[in-house]
């Protein structure tokens, strides 16, 4: 534990409630800008409505500069949102750090970039880029890739391959050709060299699994990127057109793998002596493929790699600062320290964090400042409810009931002073673009909020409700005039990305005795205000440099 973290000072005037402070994070649930397409507003959520009507509440910023992203045009995401809610301050995040490193040239002056380029030139081998090809700016940005390709050309790299993962979640769900075709043209524009896309597929079908939920995705990615095994096409544009013709309703994120071939041979297998850059800056969907590259031959992995090329491998960033994964990276991540969990455990607080697999890492790893493991084994309990491996629109209630079961048991046990939980429904089902499924997911979640509310009332605790960003509140694409964009058949065009909308902040305190002003919560704040708020509600004085609390103590 960092030496700078000391036990929190107790509030001399208020020791908090007899029960725990419970934080519910409704992942992907915001306040919609438009009535059309707002699945949250369309849902019957009697418990959330009651809590909003009978508790002090406000709206919080959960995107752009409020969570450390470059501009307020940037959507928030679960990673940076949980970072902010966990550390109580705003740190410059991946997209901003990478853009800055490229603009200043420090990325290309760094030892890792120089090492990878030097290896390729010495071995007369290939420089490979693997990552999400879009401008969603949540996991990656195509401009970062373009800048690295241009620099590689400038430094004399003759052979370069891009293994392009299709987005469709942080951008339009069927926009793959808007990124793939221009990238093919961009790569072809470099004279006298051999640059092209070598393989790819949808981000929810290959490569980008997270939290060890489905290693089959990683195996399919390995087979396509490294071994050159998969359905063969002459170009990535041809592959997308063919898949779309066969299944007109296919979303980019679900597209099967493709391998580009010339004269019957894959153009971009990864071999001994090559260099590989995973150009996603966000860590959760990069860790497993990184492990596949960095685990020695014969090492323990959930799938057979067939062969393990000896390459120089680097991530865009260090995806895990404690385990130092990957071994090599291009840009240093934000150094997030003195998180709420670290302070609470230093103060002797028993706490619990829980979600299902899809968001388990968010209430633990990301909430703790991109740190695996616990601060104190005796004081912290982390619970993962295994997610179903089925399309989320087919089971939109997900595991919210099981999460609530465990939370209610924990509340009633009297063991914990703080419990945080994440209901993934609004985000994971929201990404499917299926409006009715999202409504179902919201109403299922609301039932569980009501159950938790009752347990908080029985034990004399405080219930805080918020979200990490918007999503399910904005399910249709809108034109600049606010009208809903239409598909060819006249149906609304689905939106699967996060929104720029604010998120809720609700504090339900059933045993309120006047210790703070309930007439209004502080306004104009971001989700990074939760740690100071929770500390105050528990009877502690938050660190002086934490962002302002939502409440004003009397």
Looking at the annotation, which residues are catalytic? 78
C-alpha 283/C-alpha 315 separation (Å) is: 9
C-alpha closest to that of 511 among 50, 1, 17: 17
| Contact (CB, 8 A) for 364 and 284 | no
Query: What SS3 class is residue 528?
Result: helix
> Which helix (H) or strand (E) covers residue 86, if one does?
helix 78-87
- Dihedrals phi, psi of 308, to nearest 5 degrees: -125, 100
Beta strands in 46-96 (DSSP E): 57-60
Rounded (10°) CA dihedral 337, 526, 12, 347: -30
User: E-strand spans in 50-103?
Assistant: 57-60
Helix or strand run (H / E) with residue 441: helix 435-459
SS3 assignment for 358-417 = HHHHHHHHHCCCCCCCCCCCCCEEEEEECCCCCCHHHCCCCCHHHHHHHHHHHHHHCCCC
Of the candidates 83, 89, 88, 30, the one whose C-alpha atom is nearest the C-alpha of residue 60 is 30
Q: What is the 3-state secondary structure (H, E, C) of 354-367?
A: EEEHHHHHHHHHHC
Continuous segment of H or E residues that includes residue 199: strand 194-202
Beta strands in 397-491 (DSSP E): 418-423, 462-466
Q: Which sign, positive or negative, has the C-alpha torsion 98, 467, 207, 308?
A: positive
8 Å CB contact between 492 and 521 = no
Return d(Cα 352, Cα 553) in angstroms, integer: 26
Instruction: Please state, in angstroms and rounded to a whole number, the distance separating the CA atoms of residues 438 and 331.
Output: 37
What whole-number distance in Å separates Cα of residue 162 and Cα of residue 268?
8
């Amino acid at each position: 534990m960092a030496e700078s973290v000391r036990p929190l000072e107790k509030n001399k005037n208020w020791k908090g409630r007899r029960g725990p402070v419970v934080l519910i994070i409704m992942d992907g649930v915001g306040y919609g800008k438009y009535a059309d397409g707002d699945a949250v507003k369309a849902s019957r959520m009697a418990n959330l409505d009651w809590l909003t009507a009978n508790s002090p509440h406000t709206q919080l910023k959960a995107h752009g500069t409020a969570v450390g992203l470059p501009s307020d045009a940037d959507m928030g995401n679960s990673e940076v949102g949980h970072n902010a809610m966990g550390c109580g301050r705003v740190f410059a995040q991946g997209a901003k750090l990478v853009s800055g490193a490229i603009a200043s040239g420090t990325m290309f002056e760094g030892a890792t970039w120089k090492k990878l380029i030097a290896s390729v030139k010495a071995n007369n081998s290939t420089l490979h880029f693997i990552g999400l090809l879009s401008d969603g700016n949540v996991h990656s940005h195509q401009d970062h890739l373009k800048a690295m390709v241009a620099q590689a050309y400038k430094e004399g790299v003759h052979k370069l391959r891009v293994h392009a993962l299709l987005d469709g979640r942080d951008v339009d769900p069927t926009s793959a050709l808007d990124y793939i075709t221009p990238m093919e043209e961009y790569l072809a524009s470099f004279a006298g060299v051999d640059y092209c896309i070598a393989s790819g597929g949808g981000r929810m079908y290959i490569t980008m699994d997270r939290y060890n939920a489905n290693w089959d995705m990683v195996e399919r990615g390995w087979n396509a990127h490294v071994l050159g095994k998969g359905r063969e096409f002459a170009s990535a544009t041809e592959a997308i057109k063919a898949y779309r013709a066969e299944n007109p309703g296919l979303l980019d994120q679900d597209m099967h793998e493709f391998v580009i071939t010339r004269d019957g041979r894959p153009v971009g297998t990864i071999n001994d002596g090559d260099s590989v850059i995973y150009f996603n800056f966000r860590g959760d969907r990069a860790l497993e493929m990184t492990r596949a590259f960095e685990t020695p031959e014969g090492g323990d992995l959930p799938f057979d790699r067939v062969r393990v090329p000896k390459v120089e491998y680097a991530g865009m960033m260090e995806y895990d600062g404690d385990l130092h994964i990957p071994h090599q990276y291009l840009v240093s991540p934000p150094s997030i320290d003195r998180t709420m969990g670290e302070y609470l455990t230093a103060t002797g607080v028993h706490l619990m964090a829980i979600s299902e697999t899809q968001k388990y890492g968010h209430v633990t790893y990301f909430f703790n400042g991109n740190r695996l493991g616990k601060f104190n084994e005796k004081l912290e309990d982390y619970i993962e409810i295994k997610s179903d491996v089925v399309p989320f629109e087919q089971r939109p209630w997900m595991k919210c009931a099981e999460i609530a079961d465990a939370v209610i048991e924990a509340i009633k046990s009297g063991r914990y002073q703080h419990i945080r939980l994440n209901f993934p429904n609004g985000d994971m089902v929201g990404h499917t673009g299926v409006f009715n499924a999202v409504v179902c997911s919201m109403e299922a979640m609301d039932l569980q909020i009501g159950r938790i509310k009752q347990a908080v009332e029985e034990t004399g605790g405080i219930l805080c409700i918020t979200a990490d960003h918007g999503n399910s509140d904005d399910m249709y694409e809108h034109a600049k005039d606010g009208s809903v964009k239409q598909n060819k058949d006249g149906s609304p065009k689905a939106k699967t990305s996060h929104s720029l909308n604010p998120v809720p902040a609700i504090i339900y305190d059933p045993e309120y005795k006047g210790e703070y002003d309930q007439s209004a919560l502080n306004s104009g704040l971001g989700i990074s205000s939760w740690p100071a708020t929770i500390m105050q509600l528990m009877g502690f004085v938050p660190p002086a440099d934490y962002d302002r609390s939502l409440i004003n103590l009397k």
